Structure 1
Amino acid sequence: MHTSAGRPRTAPRAVLFDRDGTIVVDVPYNGDPSLVQPMPGAREVLDGLRSRGIPVGVVTNQSGIARGYVTREQVDAVNARVEELLGPFDVWEVCPHGSDDGCPCRKPAPGMVLSASARLDLEPSEVAVIGDIGADMGAAAAAGARAVLVPTDITLGEEIRSAPAVAADLAGAVAALWAEGP
């Protein structure tokens, strides 16, 4: 795979993951840390990246805060449980806004990917995003990052067809990112 400038792409220097439906089982508007359940293979994939010195992070839309379904404190408690089960993560980015708020951070906008990249002192082109829906792919594309879709039961057919890369699971997504390199 090549960049638009024609240079070969190298392996990513960091990987950002969507939270719900990607690294943990999606529980809509979850405010209860006891309901956090890792996706199959998530811990092994994350630990594998960490063992290679690859920073990992989370970029997650949490519109339940804007909608009043959960508080920021509840989301933070759920994220702390995710970190306890799957961590440590080098960076967390949480968008608390609703779809009508027009913020620059809510996926598919690039804000969280750009912010996470900057916090990791990397260019977005050096970062990859793994997620389960089109908004994850859109945020990566808008930021200039690479992306791999890992579909779940809620992923739309069009999202799968338009994704830059698709993998059956997290391990396959990571393997696909490293297969792109020289």
Structure 2
Amino acid sequence: MKLAILDRDGLLNEPGSEGYIASPADWQPLPGALEAVALLNQGGWHVVVATNQPGLGGGLFDGRTLVAIHARLHRELAALGGRIDAVFYCPHAEGEGCACRKPAPGLLQQICERHGVEAGNAVVIGSCRAHLQAGAALGARQLHLVCSGASAALDAGAPLDAGWPAGTRAHASLLDAALWLLAQDAEPQAAAVSA
């Protein structure tokens, strides 16, 4: 199974004026992000979201609101022929000592276990350092930074500083990352045809 684990805020959608999304009306997709997920799906990829949502535990919004936000995400994606298999979230605030808040790898481990994928075979894509650090702690061999959201000021063509996990590949957009993955998928097939 080809499994891509994506972050949510700043990668799929605008992060919100307060740095978080508190209602379905606040949820606005980033240009090309949903199309990128649909392209991955068409290429045989399963896509799952792993997101820190401390606003839930902090009382800024409730579980019903979070479900409604994700329902909007699913609807808009379905309209483009795409899907997200599941959304895993951590409701804890920083300092609560949980194993699921990224950069801890707990959420990503749960995703791999649920989908029967070895940790090293998961592809982790995000726009924030914590998501990719969680991927590195998981043992994922493919880490992809998208220069949007928290990383919008970064240049995808420039070297990353030492704070990013080793081997992280940078892309200008989620669509660029999706196209790169699909091109990698096509390479073995092209080699087999030419042989």
Distance, in Å, in 1 between the alignment partners of 2:40 and 2:149 is 26
Q: TM-score w.r.t. structure 2 length?
A: 0.79
Larger Rg computed on CA atoms:
2
Does the alignment pair 1:89 with 2:84? yes
Q: TM-score w.r.t. structure 1 length?
A: 0.84
Letter in 1 for 2:3: A
Identity across the alignment (%): 34
The 4+ residue runs of structure 1 with deviation greater than 6 A are none
Letter in 2 for 1:171: L
Map of 2:32 onto structure 1: 41
The verdict on how the C-alpha distance between 1:97 and 1:153 changes in structure 2, with shifts beyond 3 A counting, is closer
Map of 1:3 onto structure 2: none
Of the structure 1 ranges 141-150 and 172-181, higher mean CA displacement relative to structure 2 is found in: 172-181
Provide the aligned length of Structure 1 versus Structure 2: 170
Which sections of structure 2, spanning at least 5 residues, go unmatched?
A: 189-195
Kindly report the root-mean-square deviation, in angstroms, between the aligned alpha carbons of the 2 structures: 2.1
Q: How does 1:27-176 map to 2 (within 5 A)?
A: 27=16, 28-87=19-78, 88-145=83-140, 146-152=142-148, 154-155=150-151, 160-161=160-161, 162-163=164-165, 164-176=168-180
Task: Kindly provide the CA deviation profile for residues 99-150 of structure 1, in whole angstroms up to 9, marking residues without a partner as x.
Answer: 1111111110101111111111111111111111100110100111121111
Q: CA deviation at 1:179?
A: 5.8
Q: Is the 8 A contact 2:124 2:143 kept in 1?
A: yes
Distance, in Å, in 2 between the alignment partners of 1:177 and 1:129 is 11
Name the SS of the counterpart of 1:102 in structure 2: coil
Name the SS of the counterpart of 1:166 in structure 2: strand
Distance, in Å, in 2 between the alignment partners of 1:61 and 1:160 is 23
Letter in 1 for 2:121: E
